[in-house]
Amino acid sequence: MPGEKVASGELKTSARQGDGGTRRKEVIPMKCSKWYLALFAAAGALAAMTSGALAQSQNDRAGSAEARMTSACQVVGEATLVQETLDRFDSALAAHNVDQIQAAGINPVSAKGWQRFFKSNPEARVTDSCPVTELFIGSDTAIWNCMETSTISSAGKPVQYAHLVRFTFAKKNGEWIISDRR
């Protein structure tokens, strides 16, 4: 079932199929090995003459790589916090708890709509399936495109309704909240 939670807390989603293409392994023979060796020797001589500049360049590259890794770790950390906010919202939906829905950031008017929905459909289940590839994070905002599935009982039989929903998150006082859901 899409949107199932697995033991690790991750959202289980179905994988998308690629274009079915395969990578070919090709070997390009070197016909000009003399030129290759000459270029290699020239590069070595140049490196010996400018060893100080080369060392500094390597340090710059190492610093740049470290900055990219730090940035990537920050994005992963923010994505985890956004996921936790969505998990709190989904838990509130599962419990039919309007106060917790509001605590996740849903405005009071929308929360009252959920309250009416749950009163009319006491057996309703609502799940969100949100592929990580659909999460976009900025400095203090995030957008996550998800598939929301509602299951209600009609004439004693479960009826599912699935639709796309866009969550917009905002960072307030260091905490992520749901600022909009359409």
Percent of the chain with pLDDT over 90: 56
The pair phi, psi for residue 124, each rounded to 5°, is -65, 145
Tell me which DSSP letter residue 87 carries.
Answer: H
Match 């740049």 to its residue by tokens.
Answer: 64
**CA proximity to 174, closest of 82, 69, 76, 86:** 82
Burial of residue 40 (CB within 10 Å: 0-12, 13-18, 19+) is: exposed
Ranges of residues in the chain whose predicted pLDDT is under 50:
1-42, 46, 49, 53-54
- Whats the size of the chain, residue-wise? 182
Give the model's pLDDT for residue 59.
57
Q: Does domain 78-181 have CATH number 3.40.50.720?
A: no
Q: CATH 3.10.450.50 occupies which residues in the chain?
A: 78-181
Burial of residue 128 (CB within 10 Å: 0-12, 13-18, 19+) is: buried
